[in-house]
Amino acid sequence: MKLVTSSVVRGSQQGESHGGLYLIDLQTEQIDQVIDWNTVDIDWTGRGADRGLRGIAFFEDRVYVAASDELFAYSKSFKPLGSWRNKYLKHCHEISIFDRTLFLTSTGFDCILGFNLDTEVFDWGMQVQESEYRFRAARFDPRGDDGPMMLNRMHINNVHCNAAGMYISGRRTGGMLHYNGKTITMAVTLPEGTHNAQPFRDGVLFNDSEANVVRYTGRGDGDEDRAIEVPTYADNEMTHLWSNDGKVARPRFARGLCQVTESVVAGGSSPSTVSIYDLRDNKRVVEVSISRDVRNAIHGLEVWPY
């Protein structure tokens, strides 16, 4: 079995590598870099922290990968097939496909954008509004001029869609939100700094990035709850590194998460490492390190379906 993962590099400069896309064979632990994200087209204004490729999704025979403000399509052999931008897409993190629509988190605009996979047009938008822990879905047309302002109040960084609805979370949402097509409610409260929150079994699976662990929390009495520490493979003993943009990069930052089986999940951490976690035995069983540079971190992570 193979995994596909993207990496971002905090504080990289023009002329340097900004991460890329990798295929990882779990049996042989072989790593193949299939895309080196070293482009002059990167937007160097704005938040200016992580540069590189982010969320990953699959539709038919295409691989979709998001950058900060652009969506890319590749063939299974990673031949470029097209790319699309929208003025309301900024600081994108994770993406999710459901019912022939690709949904993207637009962190800068506190919204979710929908990209129609048949027409290849951004034709759906929803800003998440919050006041005193009450949430509201404000729909807008991303093709028009009446969309939201770029405020980044909640730092929305994850979207997960299934038949039960859309699940949205971020560093400052307070938990995993549920959108049923009309209203937004709090599905479950989560620690601040959470990444990749998603429904799993009868509970929620997420990266507790502040605590350096992968967590599963069920609805029962807690016997099945798990908190497994992520590894660290830094080149030095520094606990933090101030990168060129003034942001802190640190080891053991947990981000990137996907289900492998009903009891096994894969998770990412920094410096760029992918681990396999056995929830039944409550332990890490495989670790594959891509980089030991603490600025280099995993972002998107998915099971390779082809």
Q: What does the domain layout of the chain look like in residue ranges?
A: 2-303
Predicted pLDDT at 220: 80
Query: How far is C-alpha 143 from the geometric centre of its chain's CA atoms?
Result: 25
Superfamily of domain 2-303 in CATH is TolB, C-terminal domain (2.120.10.30)
Predicted pLDDT at 18: 78
Q: How far apart are the first and last CA of the chain?
A: 10
- For residues 51 and 94, the answer to whether their CB atoms sit within 8 Å is no
Predicted pLDDT at 12: 52
Side-chain half-sphere exposure of 143, counting CA atoms within 13 A:
8
Q: Which two tokens stand for residue 85?
A: 């931008």
Predicted pLDDT at 45: 47
Predicted pLDDT at 233: 66
Predicted pLDDT at 239: 53
Average pLDDT, consecutive stretches of 10 residues, N- to C-terminus, the chain (306 residues):
93 66 96 85 48 94 96 97 97 97 98 98 98 94 97 96 97 96 97 95 96 94 91 61 58 96 96 96 95 91 97
Predicted pLDDT at 221: 79
pTM: 0.92
Predicted pLDDT at 241: 57
Count of beta carbons in the 10 Å neighbourhood of residue 193? 17
Report the C-alpha gap between 279 and 274 in whole angstroms. 16
Predicted pLDDT at 237: 46
